[in-house]
Each structure stands twice: as C-alpha cells, then as structure tokens.
C-alpha cells in the first residue's frame, strides 16, 4: 500500500520549542487534531510538565495516552481527515526500554505504519546524539535506539525540521 498521508519529523533539544512548533503545524492543517502523549508521570515534576503541555496546547485536541503501543494506536485513528501529533518519541523509547520490550519490533511496527498512513503524522523527538558519549550502558543504548529511530523516520518523512531556540530549520522537504 502507498502512503496518502504526510509524515513530518520535528527534532530538537530539551525546551527548544519543538512541541510548540509541531502544534502550530497541526493547527495550520485545519484537520481534526489528535495528540498522542507518550509520557508517563512517574513523579510530581513530570506531572507538572504534562499539565503545562496540556495548558500550552489548549483545547481542540483528542488526546490518546500511549506509552507503549504506538503503531497500534496510530492505526486505530488513521484517516485522511486527521492530523496526529506524537509527542514524543524519546519518551516512547524510554518506556519501551523500561518495559524491556523488543525495540526492533516496536520500531519496525512504527515504520510500517508510516509507510502507508492516510493521516498527516507529525512526530516530535529529542535529538540526543549531539552531546558527549554517555558514561553508562543504558544511556548509550537509549542514545543508539533513538538515533536509529530518527534516521529511519527521517528517511521516510516528507519533511524534517530541527528546532533550536524556538527557530525551526527545515532539513528536508
């Protein structure tokens, strides 16, 4: 099957403005907006971050909390008349690692969906490969999983943006 939808990847560092930029792209489509939240509130600080994101986003979104089964949830709401914002892939990778899930299978499932989606899908993720080499195995594995996932999605995406200091740089498309 051939994709009829559009895939956009938005990368950036922490607090770079990538989520705000992605939300703006969603609003500009004029389509029904779905928000897939991958984050989990393990502590009070994360609960506060999630609430801040919800407030910043405002109304008009259908929210799906999806910490693990991303491809299945995307397929369940896929339609040519919706835009789906996934925020964020690095939290999804963290959740998969903590669950000791099969990372390759989960990534393959996401890539398979993106190859034939009907929706406009905007994926947000933290670029984690620009710093020093992490000093522990788990952090290095996380960086490697995220980096491979980003490369795969960027190859499939119609557009790729890198956001720094609130300024988007179009890298592809």
Q: Are strands 159-164 and 167-172 parallel, antiparallel or unpaired?
A: antiparallel
34 is a catalytic site residue: no
| Given the residues 34, 53, 64, 145, the one annotated as active site | 53
The rounded distance, in Å, linking the Cα atoms of 68 and 173 is 29
DSSP 41-72: --SHHHHHHHHHHHHHH-SSEEEEE-SS-HHH
Phi and psi at 38, nearest 5°, equal: -95, -15
The rounded distance, in Å, linking the Cα atoms of 27 and 34 is 11
Which residues are marked as active site? 53
């Amino acid at each position: 099957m051939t994709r009829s939808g559009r895939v956009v990847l938005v990368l950036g560092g922490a607090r770079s403005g990538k989520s705000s930029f992605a939300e703006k792209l969603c609003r500009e489509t004029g389509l029904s907006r779905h928000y897939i939240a991958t984050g989990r509130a393990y502590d009070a600080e994360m609960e506060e971050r999630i609430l801040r994101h919800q407030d910043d986003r405002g109304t008009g979104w259908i929210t799906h909390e999806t910490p693990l089964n991303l491809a299945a949830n995307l397929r369940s709401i896929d339609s040519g008349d919706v835009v789906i914002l996934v925020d964020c892939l690095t939290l999804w990778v963290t959740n998969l690692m903590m669950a000791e899930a099969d990372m390759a299978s989960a990534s393959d499932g996401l890539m398979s969906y993106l190859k034939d989606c009907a929706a406009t899908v905007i994926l947000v993720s933290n670029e984690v490969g620009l710093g020093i080499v992490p000093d522990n195995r788990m952090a290095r594995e996380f960086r490697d999983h995220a980096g491979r996932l980003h490369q795969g999605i960027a190859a499939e995406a119609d557009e790729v943006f890198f956001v720094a200091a609130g300024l988007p740089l179009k890298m592809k498309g």
